[in-house]
Amino acid sequence: MPPPPEAVSGPAGTAPAALPTTERGRRMRARLLAAAREVFERDGFLEARVTDISAAAGVAHGSFYTYFGSKTAVFRALVAETMDDLYASMGTRGEPGPPDGSPEEVAVHRIDRANRRFVDTYLQNTALMALFEQVTTFDPEVRALRQAARERNVGRVRHSIEQLQRDGLVAADLDAEYSAHALVAMVNGLVHYWLVLDGEFEQERLVAALTRLWAQALGLPVRT
């Protein structure tokens, strides 16, 4: 059931706030985002109030609306920033490989490093990611943010696969786009199950399994 309108809207007639152009404004916006994260993770989305966010930031209630039109707006901004960090962590381009490693070993090493970064970033943002899943059920814009971030990540992975194909390390007839979707879903879904839904996993075994499955799905050799 969707929340009541007052749970997600700001004052009547409030327009979306523009991004600040001064250093002071950027610092204040960052301060409000940090306070919002604290309040959302403590109280949940529906129970969080703009008054509490303003108090946690140490600013007047009215100052909040200089930067964000509603508590939903600040949540969207917080999620967009976090999702970009999360999915950017899965990129493998520019990742150094092991010294004197073969091209295949370098590729597997990069996959492993990317999976580790993703798990570490998710660990740092578990409470927010759990709230994010809740809010996607009733906020179309948050759902769109989720979809856009995922599509960007799928694009990164697809480009990595295509580069491996150009390098002759991955079969040329592998569908890079659909493989990227499947691999991203595997990593994201399993980590979400572990950290948000309380699955019982050991972190090192989890990362090792993800890396092995990813590499073998691409036809890359994995040391046993």
d(Cα 147, Cα 158) in Å, to the nearest integer? 16
- Based on the fold, state whether residues 91 and 142 are members of the same structural domain: yes
**CATH code of the domain in which 123 resides:** 1.10.357.10
pLDDT by residue for the chain (224 residues), tens only, comes to 444 333 344 443 344 466 777 998 899 999 999 999 999 999 999 999 999 999 999 999 999 999 999 999 999 999 888 887 777 766 655 555 566 779 999 999 999 999 999 899 899 999 998 998 889 999 998 899 888 888 988 999 999 999 999 999 999 999 999 999 999 999 999 999 999 998 899 999 999 999 999 999 999 988 76
> Does residue 222 fall inside a structural domain?
no
Contact present, 70 and 32 (Cβ < 8 Å): no
> Does residue 223 fall inside a structural domain?
no
Q: Rounded to two decimals, what is the model's pTM?
A: 0.80
Structural domain tally of the chain? Answer: 2
- Based on the fold, state whether residues 58 and 93 are members of the same structural domain: no
> Does residue 184 fall inside a structural domain?
yes
Q: What is the maximal distance between C-alpha atoms in the chain?
A: 63
Looking from the CA of 151 toward its CB, the CA atoms found within 13 Å total 6
Single-letter amino acid code for the residue at 36: A
- Based on the fold, state whether residues 174 and 101 are members of the same structural domain: yes
Range of the domain at 108: 77-217
Contact present, 142 and 136 (Cβ < 8 Å): yes
Long-range Cβ contact pairs of 10-18 (< 8 A, separation 24 or more):
10/50, 10/65, 10/68, 10/69, 10/70, 10/71, 10/72, 10/73, 11/65, 14/65, 14/69, 14/70, 15/69, 16/69, 16/73, 17/65, 17/66, 17/67, 17/68, 17/69, 17/73
> Does residue 127 fall inside a structural domain?
yes
